[in-house]
């Protein structure tokens, strides 16, 4: 990958396309072609596609924006819907903008770049509520307007890249193992994106077979590298990495790891500032962090504002304490639980450094903890599971019946699936707060409050 253009130049281009500049939207002759039809999408799906209707059937098409007029060809037939490929854009709608990334069509990592940001966040808010209604059969008592991201470009503090047999470095094509080599990443923090040329040099020089590479800003003005490898570590690579570190400004450390080995060079810890009024947290390389630091602070503030001062909180899937530690400043007590022993060790160390005596942490899978310990005296359960949701954990919570649950989710469909189980157990959905942590993509974070109403 080559060095990205200057950040200010990229931002200016984005502002011009998003802000209704003087350029005429692209159009194309919409001549009839056998096996094709013209579609006018009206909305964005919870997925990378725009959605329209043709002859009574729902049609999903990537690359289009609501209000566009596009000629498409069906590529997948299903019962009551179809998927189509866009052949060309006959006329651009008011939501369309020229995507700034030249690899957007091949990479697929940011499939909404061609849609203006106001339309993006409106679609995410609608998709959260529609998923709750369609899948869970519920509507929140107090739906809250979506919180936009503080910045829609250059927001990711970490990106994960892949390699191939040629030692090329890039992203995967959608639904494929093919590699797309890109010159820069418009949604990565500038210092992360700027490191790509030097990183390509390092990967090519290593004898160890590298599969994946994660670049992350460490929260202290530098970058750290985490490499996942297959096979054994080639010991001669130690000198190669050390020399590369010495010659590459702005890189604090490099980690390499295989199935049963780990090597660390330099300083590889991360500092996370989850809340402006709380001490920073220190995490080891490879532990989970939200990709959008500024957006994460919105998330943390949202959750903390929903915690009562006298609450006894059980934080499931707590990781390194992203929510537990800020919550501990307002709640009566906090118990954080996660199966990742390294994350729990980091969380406990951060609590000691901050002098937080009301929070403690245990290493356990969430479902196993609930089976053995129940709620542990908690009056409020917070859970922040992975994208797949927490079906078994929620089923157990439905039987244990805590008075309140705060469910943090990055997937509206699995959130709605789990909320359906809670609704069946007598919970009402009170507040729902969508937060955009992932601009230019279909993904959205949601904080949902469930309150027990039936005894």
pLDDT in tens, 189-200: 999 999 999 999
CA separation for the pair 356, 347 (Å, rounded): 11
Burial environment of residue 183 by CB neighbours within 10 A (0 to 12, 13 to 18, 19 or more): middle
- On the question of pLDDT at 27 being above 70, the answer is no
Query: CATH 2.40.50.140 in the chain, residues?
Result: 7-111
Question: Which CATH architecture is the domain 119-151+292-452 placed in?
Answer: 3-Layer(aba) Sandwich (3.40)
Give the fold, CATH level 3, of 7-111.
Answer: OB fold (Dihydrolipoamide Acetyltransferase, E2P) (2.40.50)
**What number does CATH give the domain 158-270?**
2.40.50.1070
CA separation for the pair 290, 284 (Å, rounded): 14
Residue 411 pLDDT grade (very low, low, confident, very high; cuts 50, 70, 90): very high
Using alpha carbons only, what angle is made at residue 46 by residues 45 and 47, rounded to the nearest 5 degrees? 85
Token pair of 217 as six digits:
């800003």
Span 30-38, mean pLDDT?
Answer: 86
Residue 221 pLDDT grade (very low, low, confident, very high; cuts 50, 70, 90): very high
Query: CATH 2.40.50.1070 in the chain, residues?
Result: 158-270
User: What is the structure's pLDDT at 315?
Assistant: 98
3-state secondary structure of 64: coil
* The pTM of the whole model exceeds 0.75: yes
Strand partners, 226: 214, 255
User: What is the structure's pLDDT at 13?
Assistant: 31
Complete edge-to-edge strand list for the sheet that includes strand 380-383: 142-143, 427-435, 445-452, 404-409, 380-383, 312-316, 333-338, 359-363
- Between 277 and 428, the higher pLDDT residue: 428
- On the question of pLDDT at 11 being above 50, the answer is no
In this structure, are strands 223-230 and 169-172 parallel, antiparallel, or unpaired? unpaired
CA separation for the pair 363, 348 (Å, rounded): 11
Active site positions, annotated: 410
CA separation for the pair 333, 330 (Å, rounded): 9
Please give the distance of CA 284 from its chain centroid, rounded to a whole number: 19
Strand partners, 333: 312
CB 255, CB 265: distance < 8 Å: yes
- On the question of pLDDT at 62 being above 90, the answer is yes
């Amino acid at each position: 990958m080559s060095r990205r253009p200057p950040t200010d130049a990229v931002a200016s281009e984005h502002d011009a396309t998003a802000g209704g500049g003087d350029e005429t939207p692209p159009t194309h002759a919409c001549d009839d072609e056998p096996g094709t039809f013209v579609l006018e999408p009206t909305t964005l799906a919870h997925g990378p596609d725009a959605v329209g209707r043709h002859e009574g059937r729902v049609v999903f098409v990537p690359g289009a924006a609501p209000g566009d007029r596009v000629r498409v060809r069906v590529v997948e037939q299903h019962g009551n819907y179809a998927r189509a490929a866009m052949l060309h854009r006959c006329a651009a709608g008011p939501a369309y903008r020229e995507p700034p990334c030249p690899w957007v069509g091949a990479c697929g990592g940011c499939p909404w770049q061609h849609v203006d940001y106001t339309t993006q966040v409106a679609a995410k808010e609608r998709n959260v509520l529609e998923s709750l209604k369609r899948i869970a059969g519920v509507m929140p008592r107090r739906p809250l307007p979506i919180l936009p991201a503080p910045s829609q470009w250059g927001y990711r503090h970490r990106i994960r890249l892949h390699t191939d047999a040629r030692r090329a470095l890039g992203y995967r094509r959608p639904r494929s193992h093919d590699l797309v080599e890109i010159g820069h990443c418009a949604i990565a923090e500038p210092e992360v994106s700027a490191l790509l040329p030097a990183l390509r040099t390092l990967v090519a020089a290593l004898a160890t077979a590298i599969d994946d590479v994660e670049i992350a800003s460490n929260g202290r003005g530098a970058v750290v590298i985490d490499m996942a490898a297959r096979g054994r570590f080639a010991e001669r690579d130690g000198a190669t990495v050390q020399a590369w570190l010495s010659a590459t400004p702005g890189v604090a450390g490099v980690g390499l790891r295989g199935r049963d080995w780990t090597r660390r060079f330099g300083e590889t810890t991360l500092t996370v500032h989850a809340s402006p009024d709380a001490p920073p947290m220190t995490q080891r390389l490879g532990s989970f962090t939200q990709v959008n630091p500024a957006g994460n602070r919105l998330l943390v503030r949202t959750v903390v504002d929903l915690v009562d001062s006298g609450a006894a909180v059980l934080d499931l899937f707590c990781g390194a304490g992203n929510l537990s530690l800020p919550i501990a400043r307002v709640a009566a007590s906090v118990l954080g639980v996660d199966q990742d022993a390294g994350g729990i060790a980091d969380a406990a160390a951060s609590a000691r450094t901050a002098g937080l005596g009301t929070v403690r942490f245990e290493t356990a899978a969430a479902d196993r903890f609930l089976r053995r310990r129940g709620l542990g005296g908690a009056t409020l359960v917070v859970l922040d599971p992975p994208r797949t949701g927490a079906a078994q954990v929620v089923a157990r919570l439905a039987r244990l019946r805590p008075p309140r649950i705060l469910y943090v989710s990055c997937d509206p469909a699995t959130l709605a699936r789990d909320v359906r189980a809670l609704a069946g157990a007598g919970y009402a959905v009170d507040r729902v707060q969508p937060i955009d942590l992932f601009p230019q993509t279909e993904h959205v974070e949601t904080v949902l409050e469930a309150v027990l109403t039936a005894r």
